[in-house]
Amino acid sequence: MHGHDRRKFLGLCLGGITFTLMGAAIYPVFKFLAPLQTRKSAGKVEIRQQDLAEGEAKFIEFGGEPAVVVNSGEHGLIALSAVCTHLGCIVQWQRDKRRFLCPCHAGLYTESGEVISGPPPKQLPKLPLSVNNGIITVG
């Protein structure tokens, strides 16, 4: 009985050591594989207002994701996420029709991001935007 207890104790110790060592080996591998922290643009993105004529759209990267700034004229300047809310493709700006088209499954959005037709379940998220001295700042 005494020997049995000792065997159990040693087994537990061995198990504990193995478990700890496995953790010590897996942790660095996990950290190595984990995505690097994307520099969430504390970063604001700035573009010159004169570079964005009426009816034009400019694609930028904001917070590690594609975004778009549109000069819609009627609604003024709008900043939107350029990631389609359906399956994550990047929308294209159709200048002549003043709308966004998702080339993957033909989702259509208005220039302010509302869904016109197709599979997207919700509108394109709006991004904060301000204009100062001819400089458009997203973020």
28 versus 121: smaller Cβ distance to another protein: 28
Q: Is residue 4 within the footprint of another protein (CB under 8 A)?
A: no
- Residue 84 in 3-state DSSP? coil
Which of 1, 33, 42, 53 contacts another protein by CB under 8 A? 33
Distance CA 23, CA 122 (A): 42
Q: Which helix (H) or strand (E) holds 13?
A: helix 2-33
15 versus 125: smaller Cβ distance to another protein: 15
How many degrees, rounded to 5, is the angle at CA 41 between CA 35 and CA 61?
85
Kindly determine how many residues on this chain lie close enough to bind another protein according to the rule CB under 8 A.
Answer: 7
Q: Is residue 42 within the footprint of another protein (CB under 8 A)?
A: no
How many degrees, rounded to 5, is the angle at CA 110 between CA 83 and CA 55?
95
Q: Is residue 35 within the footprint of another protein (CB under 8 A)?
A: no
Nearest approach in angstroms of CB 31 to another protein is 4
- Of the CA atoms within 13 Å of residue 81, those in its CB half-sphere come to 14
Which of 2, 3, 4, 29 contacts another protein by CB under 8 A? 29
